[in-house]
Structure 1
Amino acid sequence: MGLYFFLIIPVLILSMFVQWRFRSKFSQYAEMQLNSGFSGKEVAEKMLRDNGIYDVKVMSTDVQLSDHYNPSEKTINLSTDVYYGRSIAAAAVAAHECGHAIQQAKSYGWLELRTNMVPVVSITSNLLQWVLIIGVLLIAFTFNPIVLAIGVFGLTLITIFTMITLPVEFDASKRALMWLKNNKEVLYSPEEHVQVRDALWWAAMTYVVAALGAMTNLIYYISILFGRTKD
């Protein structure tokens, strides 16, 4: 277990810090009202129209921090705080999710690849924990590596998925910031733009630590598979 703790503890500490910072920043920016008075819904609808997108629906969801774009249904799903909110945080989230809609409209390659991987990754994620547990037990007591090798393959798919997610998320934020910068009607001041950029930066960092966590798990189980641990 020495290798596991050596790998995972720094990532866990970093992940806890990033999650705390992310929630802290969004709580702060949720209290800061936009001078323009735009709601998240209005920001999203305007950004879609400005980019010539009329087949995407902006919807409200009751689950907090569940904001996402559904490329198969072409819906932007915003939590109630974002949908009705007129804050810096609401504008940042709404514009970011619209960034994904623009990606799809422009056939952004990384988004298409990520979307195509979702069904496989979803099934793999549901089964992976048990496959890895059984695989580790088998390799420990019977030296049979087949099940663990299958688990490592599944974990590799998930790790690749988290890595592909990074350019998708960073690009969506880039599109959001570019649009907001050019729309003084939504963001009146440079200070508001800086605040939106800061909010989106910490949101992006949560995906970075998720990718690091997936990579750490993969390295650990690969080391077990090839007999490099001293458990």
Structure 2
Amino acid sequence: MGGIWIIMIVMMLASALVSWTLKSKFEKYSKMGISSGLSGREIAEMMLADNGITDVRVISTPGKLTDHYNPADKTVNLSEYVYEARSAAAAAVAAHECGHAVQHAKAYTFLKFRSAMVPALSVASRYMQWILLIGILLIQTTILPLAIGVALFALTTLFSFVTLPVEFDASKRALAWMSTRGVVTTQEHGMAKDALKWAAMTYVVAALGSLATLLYYASFLFGRRD
């Protein structure tokens, strides 16, 4: 148990560090204008067009770092800053989200798998914490609730790891397109790559953190069984 607690504390510190670094990088590259003068919206529309995607809309969404692709209504949602800005950070984020749209259009395997998991995950997320709590409270009586809770948490952990190739691939597509299309210079491309690397790290830390938490709950279950 002690070892698992140490791992969880390390993951919490790592998560805080990565989050801080990402925000710092984003703020830094937000001040770096790109020579093409293209806005995030314009870059997104160009990337979609270059990939022959005509049924996806690029829209603005409130908030900061709220950018995402919605496969349900086929929209690339760019935060207000990214939508209007003409910076290396905005270019990186806009192209990355379009990378997800390209994945969708090309039926990328891991994206399909992740999307198929969403309905079950929404149910698991709704009840999981309560089932785990009940399971721990009743562990001296029965292990069934805890076993169910651990199984549900394992599903969310699997989802976190399936997300990794989806995010890395979207960034890879974005960077390759930006380089080929020439919407950024070599130096600006380096900034975009660095920003996307740290964005991807947040998913890596989240996945590892989920695994550490899963092991924590599993230790109760298997400790009780022993």
Q: Report the TM-score when normalising by structure 1.
A: 0.95
Equivalent of 2:167 in 159, 166, 169 = 169
Is this contact kept in 1: 2:40–2:85, CA < 8 A? yes
Q: Which runs of 5+ in 1 are unaligned?
A: none
| 1:185-224 matches, cutoff 5 A | 186-187=183-184, 189-224=185-220
Is this contact kept in 1: 2:53–2:105, CA < 8 A? yes
Which whole-Å deviations, capped at 9, do the CAs of 1:173-197 have from their partners, x for residues lacking one? 000000001112x11x211010000
Using the alignment, how far apart are the partners of 2:83 and 2:180 within structure 1?
Answer: 22
Number of matched pairs: 225
Is this contact kept in 1: 2:4–2:215, CA < 8 A? no
Equivalent of 1:226 in 218, 222, 225 = 222
Q: Which runs of 5+ in 2 are unaligned?
A: none
Using the alignment, how far apart are the partners of 2:154 and 2:133 within structure 1?
Answer: 16
Please report how far the alpha carbon of residue 127 of structure 1 lies from its aligned counterpart in structure 2 after TM superposition: 1.3
Answering whether residue 148 of structure 2 is matched by residue 150 of structure 1, we say yes
Q: Secondary structure at the match of 1:82?
A: helix
Q: Secondary structure at the match of 1:45?
A: helix
Is this contact kept in 2: 1:11–1:212, CA < 8 A? yes
In the alignment, residue 194 of structure 2 is paired with which amino acid? D
Q: Secondary structure at the match of 1:158?
A: helix
Please report how far the alpha carbon of residue 66 of structure 1 lies from its aligned counterpart in structure 2 after TM superposition: 0.9
Aligned to 2:134: 134
Q: Secondary structure at the match of 1:58?
A: strand
Using the alignment, how far apart are the partners of 2:41 and 2:47 within structure 1?
Answer: 10
Which whole-Å deviations, capped at 9, do the CAs of 1:41-99 have from their partners, x for residues lacking one? 00000000001000000010112111000111100001000001111111000000000
Q: Secondary structure at the match of 1:182?
A: helix
Answering whether residue 109 of structure 2 is matched by residue 109 of structure 1, we say yes
Using the alignment, how far apart are the partners of 1:99 and 1:164 within structure 2?
Answer: 16
Using the alignment, how far apart are the partners of 1:30 and 1:228 within structure 2?
Answer: 52
| 1:37-186 matches, cutoff 5 A | 37-139=37-139, 141-142=140-141, 144-184=142-182, 186=183
Please report how far the alpha carbon of residue 35 of structure 1 lies from its aligned counterpart in structure 2 after TM superposition: 1.1
Is this contact kept in 2: 1:69–1:75, CA < 8 A? yes
In the alignment, residue 167 of structure 1 is paired with which amino acid? P
Aligned-pair identity in percent equals 56
Is this contact kept in 2: 1:3–1:220, CA < 8 A? no
Q: Report the TM-score when normalising by structure 2.
A: 0.97
RMSD: 1.3
In the alignment, residue 188 of structure 2 is paired with which amino acid? E
Please report how far the alpha carbon of residue 3 of structure 1 lies from its aligned counterpart in structure 2 after TM superposition: 4.1
Answering whether residue 1 of structure 2 is matched by residue 5 of structure 1, we say no
